[in-house]
Amino acid sequence: MASMLLNSMRTCPVSPARAVQYAARSLSTTTQLQAQVQTKSKKTLARPSVKNIVLVEGVRTPFLMSGTTYADLMPHDLARAALQGLLHKTGIPKDAVDYIIYGTVIQEVKTSNVAREAALGAGFSDKIPAHTVTMACISSNQAMTSAVGMIAAGQCDAVVAGGVEFMSDVPIRHSRKMRKTMLSLNKAKTLGQRLGLIGSIRLAHLAPELPAVAEFSTAETMGHSADRLAAAFGVSRVEQDEFALRSHTLAKKAQDAGLLKDVISFKVPGRDIVSKDNGIRPSSMEQMAKLKPAFIKPHGTVTAANSSFLTDGASAVLIMSEEKALAMGYKPKAYLRDFVYVSQDPKDQLLLGPTYSTPKVLERAGLTMDDIDVFEFHEAFAGQIMANLKAMDSDWFAQTYMGRKSKVGTPPTEKFNLWGGSLSLGHPFGATGCRLVTTVAHRLQKEGGQYGLVAACAAGGQGHAMVIEAYPQ
Amino acid sequence: MSDFFFFFFYCSSHQARTHVSYELKDDVAVIRLNDPTSKVNTLSVQMQSELSEVMGEIWSNGAVKSAVLISSKPGCFIAGADINMIQACKTSEEVTHLSQEGQKMFEKIEKSPIPVVAAINGSCLGGGLEVGLPGAFDMMLTGRNIRADKAKKMGLVHQLVDPLGPGLKPAEERTIEYLEEVAVGLAKGIANKKVALTKEKGLMQKLQDTVMGLGPVKQKIYKTVSEKVQKQTKGLYPAPVKIIECIKTGVEQGREAGYLAEAENFGKLAVTPESKALIGLYQGQVICKKNRFGTPEKEVKKLAILGAGLMGAGIAQVSIDKGLNTILKDTAVEGISRGEDQVYKGLNTKVKKKALTSFERDAILSNLSAQIDYTGFDSADMVIEAVFEDINIKHKVLKEIEAIIPPHCIFASNTSALPIKDIAAASKRPEKVIGMHYFSPVDKMQLLEIITTDKTSKDTLASAVSVGLKQGKIIIVVGDGPGFYTTRCLAPMLAEAVRVLQEGTGPKKLDTLTTSFGFPVGAATLADEVGIDVAAHVAEDLGKAFGSRFGGGNVEVLKTMVENGFKGRKSGKGCFIYGKGKKEKSVNSDAEEILQKYKLSAPPSVSSDSDIQHRLVSRFVNEAVLCLQEGILTNPVEGDIGAVFGLGFPPCLGGPFRFVDSFGAEKLVSMMRRFEDVYGNQFTPCQLLLDHAKDPSKKFHK
């Protein structure tokens, strides 16, 4: 959850030509050079006792920097747009879905079960139950795996999962003292009591309470933790800037090439039709080097340019049992296979989720890093990604902190986040998970791979990973 | 770590320097401090001379544009001057010379032609602070710990570096490396003028500086500070006064004069009895914080405490914050509710002071289980009872407990006076019974007095000591007997205090007399803190055990006070009246009336202020020496530590034994003989004290 500061860098001048030049030497980790693998020969992960669960479709609204075109909406409006987009794209009847689950992080108080409000607004049948989950940046991953669980348990056949985040407006509260006074006022019976309560209000009570951008258990902001993490793994400022530039450059290329097919157009009432992410801005190393550190001053390395920015956006996916999808005449995009959740020390290992979850999920699936054709990792901060890559490449770290015999290895650059990532496309906390999974499905189709891996970190020191298998084309 | 060390030893110069080394990183000289003989760095002679030498080499090397001073020890920059070095000096001149050598080095660093960045990781105390912060060279040091963020606000340090978590190396190692990287970057920045260190002074600051520079204002400041120091130290600690003197000399007569005054005064102070006393306490405390009794067979992981009163809850608080799973049991829900509240408040105070986060507080509290039944006692490793001081109740509890606890479980009694062997008499397994005497308030008082009987097993003792150390206590181990060591010393002094009160000295005056002698808490207030009921109980019990020697004041005074509800601070009234928000406590006039009823006439020959002070202290000291004579104490060091840290014996006197050494046993004995003539055997010096009086070469401390 990058700080508000990060908006400022959006005004940086853009020079795409320069950026492309740098993109070439972007990811500076060791890479295992492998030719594009033709994976059709690989075994499938289908198991006799486990139901095949498929991703039928995935969509998202364009991800916009907060405070831009979506500024006057409400969270459920964005979620509604994603749901309508999914309805439109799949043509599924509005009562053919068994359940709806949404993930979100900063809750709008009026729509705390945003899944229900959005479903009603999107025209789904009011007979479909809906609930909202929250698990920081892996909230929509949790929505999807909850759906998988319901289908696997045989309780549902078709579930819509999604996520939404709306940072253009966040709940800002009165101070605790003021709230207490106001609540007491409700109960006050006599004029005297009321006047007494009003008289007890002090100027200091009027100071509002902003939603915490800090970890509750440690009171440390995420950017600060990311900066310390980068330092702990010896990630330099240049490495971080290079990775961020790579993300923006690849995102721009993917956008220009029309690869981001999950993006739907959204007519914002009273405004233009939005059909593109607006945070993709390849800059140059020189421009990026000018920025001052955003969190640890003056010697820190995490800046606005190498962090993800505050984003508005929503996503939605349709998940079904394979039989049901086929019975309804759908051509599924991918199988959703093994997944894991992990959690670690929220202070010093806050953002190491991918490091912990990757080997675990591969083990579950019986795969190795070499088997994976498509990697989509959530990019919270460039420093966080680089730290994770270094951790995954260290036997010492695996042995000392993870109780494993050896390192899992790093994803090869040429398979990693090839269509941009959270740094460039944007990161609406609750919605990113569905984007990752849908992107893996689309990339597997496009690149002809068989297995994809999604991994992400989340506040609270948690993490997630999922293996996705291409649906035979 | 090994690579790291190898590298710099290799790079350091041809001479065999052991404490200080340096290497060049571009044009930055990285100077590393590392005393190979100790866990911490101190400003020893060796360290100082090597540092001087290295600085000389660096300054003569034209290629070096800046320097970084850093410690290779995780968590310690320089812990201050080397106490052994100061102690080894025979005369004040020697210390003055040492001090001047140190000053020269500090001055050199301060006047360094190239910028020197001190990268401080961990403790940086006393002289260490002066090395680290040459800019603040003239600072006065109070014995305070300052957190890093506070230090930055105060302007002591320029930049903070956060400790790192796990990375590709152990966190501590990488943190030092990172600190060095940042410091090298900063040093380069300062050298090439990219980083400015001084901020433009604001108008208010300029104004303040001008005003502070005015003669009369300065005089007023000196006066105010001196008065404050006088009030706090009661003139018993010479150092703070001298420090002000040095600053004054420095400001008025220039730096050179200031430095000279500082060195000379430091020399004088180092050889004062106060300095010896305090160094003695420091060293004694180091001894009492070590486990001298070996590792217990089974580590105590689950602790059960009986009684959720002030004591029980206090013990729970210092246990759970060290990660011990703790059961706090009382007989009533009200009891545990009050006890839990006490623990919460104790921890929450730390949250308010920002020593803990609210989250850490909650996590600590999760180690506590407050309950009114014996659930979980069957897996307890140790039970500490803090129930009412009545042998019958203790026996009942012990029997109940022994029916539930596992065979390895230790039973510790937190009694302040009942002999442990009497308590153990009811036990099926007396080898597992031990005394653990805590002091109230448990979270503030550092002492733990552990009492063994001749049946207590070695492993039981080892276990009790390791739990006590975990709880952060300074531990003395004493023999069994009524009142053990501490209570036994305190009782005669309190009996004397009651007599003094009966003789017409008011509680306030009594407090003044004792505090001006160096006791941090006055005798009347101390009685209120301990609890008048406890004092009465102890006086009666010990009176029975020791006879007329423990007489003095009339126990009925205390009993009558208790009957009237004046139990001390806990009941709101004792010698004084206590109330919320009251700063000045007022004398309880009802208690004065009681005293009036038991009034004695004060014999003029032994009732001067000084005589009253010595009557109180000599009874304390004589009883302490008797404890050593009888083998309750194994050595004078523990006697001094117990008296100072448990009972507030004046720290400037270093404890009863050091007091005898410095005051003179002979002088003390003759004084006691004079009191003996008036009051009888309460002032009869014990044999060991007489031995010391007879032979002046006999000292308790070498």
User: How is chain A split into domains, by residue range?
Assistant: 53-170+218-470, 176-209
B666: exposed, middle or buried (Cβ count in 10 Å: 0-12, 13-18, 19+): middle
Of the candidates B162, B168, B178, the beta carbon closest to that of A397 is on B168
**Domain ranges in chain B with CATH number 3.40.50.720:** 302-481
The answer to whether the CB atoms of A299 and B359 lie below 8 A apart is no
* Strand stretches in B573-620, DSSP E: 576-577, 586-587
Paired with B478 in beta bridges are: B451
Known active-site residue A434: no
Helix pair angle (B215-233, B203-213), 10° resolution: 80
The answer to whether the CB atoms of A231 and B178 lie below 8 A apart is yes
- Among chain B residues, CA nearest to A347: B165
A vs B, Cβ pairs < 8 A, gives 59
- Among chain B residues, CA nearest to A235: B167
The answer to whether the CB atoms of B165 and A233 lie below 8 A apart is no
What pLDDT is recorded for position B196?
Answer: 72
Of the candidates A219, A233, A298, the beta carbon closest to that of B167 is on A233
Known active-site residue A156: no
Mind giving me the DSSP string for B353-407? TTSS-HHHHHHHHTTEEEESS-TTGGG-SEEEE---S-HHHHHHHHHHHHTTS-T
The answer to whether the CB atoms of B186 and A299 lie below 8 A apart is yes
Neighbours of B202 (CB within 10 A): 9
Quick check: B689 and B661 in contact, CB under 8 A?
A: no
Of the candidates B161, B165, B357, the beta carbon closest to that of A348 is on B165
The answer to whether the CB atoms of B185 and A299 lie below 8 A apart is yes
Of the candidates A218, A232, A345, the beta carbon closest to that of B167 is on A232
ipTM for the assembly:
0.84
Which tokens in the block code for residue A438?
């849908």
Write out chain A residues lying below 8 Å of B158, CB-based.
none
Distance of alpha carbon B39 from its chain centroid, rounded?
Answer: 21
Bridge-based pairing state of the strands A374-377 and B368-371: unpaired
Quick check: B633 and B481 in contact, CB under 8 A?
A: no
Q: Tell which of A228, A239, A399 to mutate to test the B interface (max B CBs under 10 Å).
A: A228
Tell whether A232 is within 8 A of chain B (Cβ): yes
pLDDT bucket at A18, cuts 50 / 70 / 90: very low
Backbone angles phi, psi at A202, to 5 degrees: -110, 160
What pLDDT is recorded for position B15?
Answer: 54
Backbone angles phi, psi at B311, to 5 degrees: -70, -55
Which tokens in the block code for residue B403?
């029916």
The CATH classification of domain B486-694, taken from the options 2.30.29.30, 3.40.50.2300, 1.10.1040.50, 3.40.50.920: 1.10.1040.50
Residue A38: pLDDT over 50: no
Tell whether A345 is within 8 A of chain B (Cβ): yes
Tell whether B171 is within 8 A of chain A (Cβ): yes
Query: In this predicted model, what pLDDT tens digit does every residue of A132-155 receive, in sequence order?
Result: 999 999 999 999 999 999 999 999
**CA dist., res. B432 & res. B411, Å (int):** 6
Over range A278-307, report the average pLDDT.
95
- Among chain B residues, CA nearest to A397: B168
Tell whether B357 is within 8 A of chain A (Cβ): yes
- Among chain B residues, CA nearest to A345: B165
Domain B20-192 has CATH 3.40.50.800: no
**CA dist., res. A316 & res. A83, Å (int):** 6
Neighbours of B15 (CB within 10 A): 10
Of the candidates B161, B174, B186, the beta carbon closest to that of A232 is on B174
- Among chain A residues, CA nearest to B362: A217
Of the candidates B166, B185, B186, the beta carbon closest to that of A348 is on B166
Q: Tell which of A299, A352, A355 to mutate to test the B interface (max B CBs under 10 Å).
A: A299
**CA dist., res. B199 & res. B612, Å (int):** 57
Q: Could you tell me the CA-to-CA distances from B18 to B8, B22, B276, B425 in Å, in that order?
A: 11, 11, 30, 58
The answer to whether the CB atoms of B165 and A228 lie below 8 A apart is yes
pLDDT bucket at A363, cuts 50 / 70 / 90: very high
For residue B84, the distance in angstroms to the closest alpha carbon of chain A comes to 38
Tell whether A93 is within 8 A of chain B (Cβ): no
pLDDT bucket at A32, cuts 50 / 70 / 90: very low
- Among chain B residues, CA nearest to A388: B167
Write out chain B residues lying below 8 Å of A387, CB-based.
167
Write out chain B residues lying below 8 Å of A218, CB-based.
357, 359
For residue B168, the distance in angstroms to the closest alpha carbon of chain A comes to 6
What pLDDT is recorded for position A416?
Answer: 98
Q: Tell which of B117, B158, B162, B358 to mutate to test the A interface (max A CBs under 10 Å).
A: B162
Query: In this predicted model, what pLDDT tens digit does every residue of A80-92 receive, in sequence order?
Result: 999 999 999 999 9
What pLDDT is recorded for position B262?
Answer: 80
Paired with B20 in beta bridges are: B33
Write out chain A residues lying below 8 Å of B362, CB-based.
none
What pLDDT is recorded for position A36?
Answer: 40
Which tokens in the block code for residue B579?
């109330």
What pLDDT is recorded for position A17?
Answer: 42
Distance of alpha carbon A84 from its chain centroid, rounded?
Answer: 20
Q: Residue written as tokens 């049992």?
A: A321
Neighbours of B103 (CB within 10 A): 19
Rg (CA), chain B: 29
**Domain ranges in chain B with CATH number 3.90.226.10:** 20-192
- Among chain A residues, CA nearest to B359: A217
**Domain ranges in chain B with CATH number 1.10.1040.50:** 486-694
Fold (CATH) for A53-170+218-470: Peroxisomal Thiolase; Chain A, domain 1 (3.40.47)
Tell whether B454 is within 8 A of chain A (Cβ): no
Residue A319: pLDDT over 70: yes
Tell whether B165 is within 8 A of chain A (Cβ): yes
What pLDDT is recorded for position B290?
Answer: 87
Write out chain B residues lying below 8 Å of A214, CB-based.
none
Active site residues of B: 449
Please give the model's pTM, rounded to 2 decimal places: 0.81
The answer to whether the CB atoms of A394 and B357 lie below 8 A apart is no
3-class state of residue A266 by DSSP: strand
Tell whether A351 is within 8 A of chain B (Cβ): no
Query: In this predicted model, what pLDDT tens digit does every residue of A236-276 receive, in sequence order?
Result: 999 999 999 999 999 999 999 999 999 999 999 999 899 99
Q: What percent of chain A has pLDDT over 70?
A: 91
Tell whether B196 is within 8 A of chain A (Cβ): no
Backbone angles phi, psi at A402, to 5 degrees: -110, -5
Q: Tell which of A29, A221, A348, A388 to mutate to test the B interface (max B CBs under 10 Å).
A: A348
Residue A290: pLDDT over 50: yes
Over range A183-202, report the average pLDDT.
91
Which tokens in the block code for residue A181?
């006074």
3-class state of residue B237 by DSSP: coil
pLDDT bucket at A43, cuts 50 / 70 / 90: confident
* B261 φψ region: left (φ > 0), alpha (ψ -120 to 50), beta (else): alpha
**CA dist., res. A350 & res. A381, Å (int):** 12
Give per-10-residue mean pLDDT for chain B (702 aa).
Answer: 28 64 92 88 85 89 90 80 78 84 79 85 61 42 57 70 90 90 89 73 69 74 78 78 78 79 82 85 88 91 95 96 94 95 95 88 95 95 93 94 96 92 95 95 94 96 96 96 94 94 94 93 89 89 91 91 90 86 78 92 92 96 97 96 94 94 95 96 96 94 85
Fold (CATH) for B302-481: Rossmann fold (3.40.50)
The answer to whether the CB atoms of B167 and A234 lie below 8 A apart is yes
